[in-house]
Amino acid sequence: MRISCYAQASGRVQGVGFRYFVLREATQRGIGGWVRNCEDGSVQMLLQGEEQAVQLLLQRIREGTVWIQVENPDNDTVPQEREFSIRY
């Protein structure tokens, strides 16, 4: 089943390659949508694809990397888009 998930991540998520990390992980999983930095230091995302793929991506986002540390990820369902992009 395809789902759409709006998510917002805070923590160490700007200036550490987080958007490109999400773009790469989303592309590998066939997920559409977008990711963008917010003025408050958080990052917003729209993730659309097969439920299992979206859930796996959300797990990878929660895990982060050596440089990326996500705190308090929040998500909800929303209408779907077909492609993935970075927004400004």
Distance CA 50, CA 31 (A): 8
- In the set 12, 29, 36, 37, the catalytic residue is 37
- Give the alpha-carbon dihedral of 73, 50, 31, 87, to 10 degrees: -50
- In the set 19, 36, 62, 87, the catalytic residue is 19
Distance of alpha carbon 25 from the chain centroid: 9
- Residue 37 bears catalytic tag: yes
Q: Output phi, psi for 80, to 5 deg.
A: -90, 150
Beta strands at 69-77 and 84-87: parallel, antiparallel or unpaired: unpaired
Residues tagged active-site = 19, 37
